[in-house]
């Protein structure tokens, strides 16, 4: 008799544990994650509830999530615009149905010269690498910078190319040639 009751209990247990339970049917599979890569150039940040970024950052969000990005320039800078998955100069709204990359570009805002002074602006054509420096001090930059000067101030500009680059020539309103 003992063996018959074991068989009945085992059969009842087997029925209760076989097949798919209702609990397993109601559990949804985990949602896919999407990656948002944010690159910031210049002086500013990109902010949203999902990300706060000042250079290069990545965040993962559930697939299909709406993301609202705002570009926030630092003091003395302005927002030039978005590239990548966003465009224009306003806020950016994305639906992350795929992995996306967004770039935000900020530029320095040059203050106007002091009344009665002049603004000396120098820039590189970007083809090479190096620095531009001035005497008197005030300009020391790789690409573009400006200096507020009183009328009649003599300024000596010196190009300093890095290894593998060479300075070719000055052009513009005041300087010409290849020397300082």
In the chain, what are the helix, strand and coil shares in percent, each to the nearest 5? 10, 45, 45
Q: What is the pLDDT of residues 108-146, one digit of tens each?
A: 777 777 888 888 887 776 566 778 888 888 777 766 677
**Residues 51, 55: Cα–Cα separation, whole Å:** 12
Q: Do residues 62 and 99 both lie within one domain?
A: yes
b (16+ CB within 10 A) / e for 101-130: ebbbbbbeeeeeeeeeeeebebebeeeeeb
The parent domain of residue 70 ranges over 33-108
pLDDT at 179 over 60: yes
Q: Do residues 65 and 128 both lie within one domain?
A: no
Q: Do residues 91 and 151 both lie within one domain?
A: no
Q: Do residues 157 and 136 both lie within one domain?
A: yes
Q: Do residues 128 and 100 both lie within one domain?
A: no
Q: What is the pLDDT of residues 9-53, one digit of tens each?
A: 444 444 444 444 444 555 555 679 999 999 998 888 999 998 899
What's the mean pLDDT when you consider all of the chain? 79
Place of tokens 């003599």: 154
pLDDT at 18: 47
| Residue 19 domain-assigned (yes or no) | no
| Residue 145 domain-assigned (yes or no) | yes
Q: Do residues 104 and 129 both lie within one domain?
A: no
| Residue 97 domain-assigned (yes or no) | yes
pLDDT at 25: 54
Q: Is there a contact between 148 and 127 (Cβ–Cβ < 8 Å)?
A: no
| Residue 28 domain-assigned (yes or no) | no
Place of tokens 């420096």: 133
**Residues 70, 72: Cα–Cα separation, whole Å:** 6
Q: Do residues 63 and 98 both lie within one domain?
A: yes
Question: What is the total count of domains within the chain?
Answer: 2
pLDDT at 24: 52
CA trace torsion 44, 47, 53, 56 (10° rounding)? -90
């Amino acid at each position: 008799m003992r063996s018959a009751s074991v068989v009945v209990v085992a059969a009842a247990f087997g029925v209760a544990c076989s097949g798919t339970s209702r609990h397993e049917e109601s559990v949804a599979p985990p949602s896919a994650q999407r990656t948002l890569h944010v690159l910031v150039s210049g002086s500013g940040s990109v902010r949203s509830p999902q990300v706060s970024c000042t250079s290069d950052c990545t965040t993962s969000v559930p697939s299909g999530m709406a993301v609202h990005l705002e570009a926030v320039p630092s003091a003395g800078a302005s927002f030039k615009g978005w590239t990548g998955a966003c465009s224009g100069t306003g806020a950016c709204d994305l639906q992350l149905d795929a992995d996306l990359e967004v770039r935000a570009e900020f530029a320095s805002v040059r203050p106007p010269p002091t009344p009665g002074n002049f603004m000396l602006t120098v820039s590189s054509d970007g083809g090479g690498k190096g620095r531009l420096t001035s005497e008197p001090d005030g300009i020391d930059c790789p690409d573009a910078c400006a200096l507020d000067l009183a009328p009649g101030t003599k300024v000596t500009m010196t190009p300093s190319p890095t290894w593998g680059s060479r300075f070719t020539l000055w052009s513009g309103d005041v300087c010409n040639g290849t020397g300082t």
